[in-house]
Amino acid sequence: MTDSPPESPLNLCRVGIGHDRHRLVAGTGPLVIGGIEIPFDGHLLGHSDADVLLHALTDAILGALGRGDIGEWFPDTAAENKGRDSKEMLRVVLEKTRDTPFRIINVDATLFAEAPKFSPYKQPIRDSIASLLGIAPTRVNVKAKTGEKVGPIGRREAIDSEVVVLLELLSS
């Protein structure tokens, strides 16, 4: 038996998944999703800016690289992370994982929220994520689902996000 993998382009690919949830509360926010502020009479609670989508994205990238999770990188017990901009946390992860050079093949993100309606914001969120990652918006997809009025999503108690990312490892 040999553990050397057969020659295949897939040997250079890594997939990662991220899931996050933040509690939705009434009151002006801002509601920050995917790095942009969305007008809404509610916002997400969190130690940082509670950007549920960027947290799931960051976890997906860390997962693909086998580098742990966002909670290990940015503990919610650390004062420096209070109110922290999630765009900046993502930039830190991208900067500190340069020892494993990679290119993002695609990002597929889903938001789970009864409200607000995300249809007007899907493209701005795509553009925002693409800009943060330095890739074309066509490589980023953003979907939105309601909770069908049941469960914590449907009762507007929380917004969830799931993100899958596919990376291609580059030779350094």
CB neighbour list of residue 7: distance below 8 Å, 6 or more residues apart = none
Question: What would the DSSP string read from start to end of 8-50?
Answer: -GGGGEEEEEEEEEEEEEES---EEETTEEE--SEEE--SS--
Q: Do the Cβ atoms of 27 and 57 come closer than 8 Å?
A: no
Q: Which of 58, 139 has the CB closer to Zn ion?
A: 58
d(Cα 135, Cα 103) in Å, to the nearest integer? 9
Cβ 39 to Zn ion shortest distance, Å: 21
Q: How far is the CB of 156 from Zn ion (least distance, A)?
A: 18
Report, in Å, the least distance between residue 71 CB and Zn ion: 9
Report in angstroms how near the CB of residue 163 gets to Zn ion at its nearest. 12
Interface residues toward Zn ion, by CB under 5 A: 20, 55
Nearest distance from C-beta of residue 169 to Zn ion, angstroms: 27
Q: Of 45 and 150, which has the nearer Cβ to Zn ion?
A: 45
Is residue 147 a contact partner of residue 114, using CB atoms and an 8 Å limit?
Answer: yes
- Which DSSP string do the residues of 78-95 spell out, in sequence order? -GGGTT--HHHHHHHHHH
- Nearer Cβ to Zn ion, position 44 or 139? 44
Nearest to Zn ion of 139, 153 (CB atom) = 153
Q: Answer whether 108's CB lies under 8 Å from 142's CB.
A: no
Give whichever of 59 and 139 is closer to Zn ion, judged by the CB atom. 59
**36-38 and 31-33 strand pairing:** antiparallel
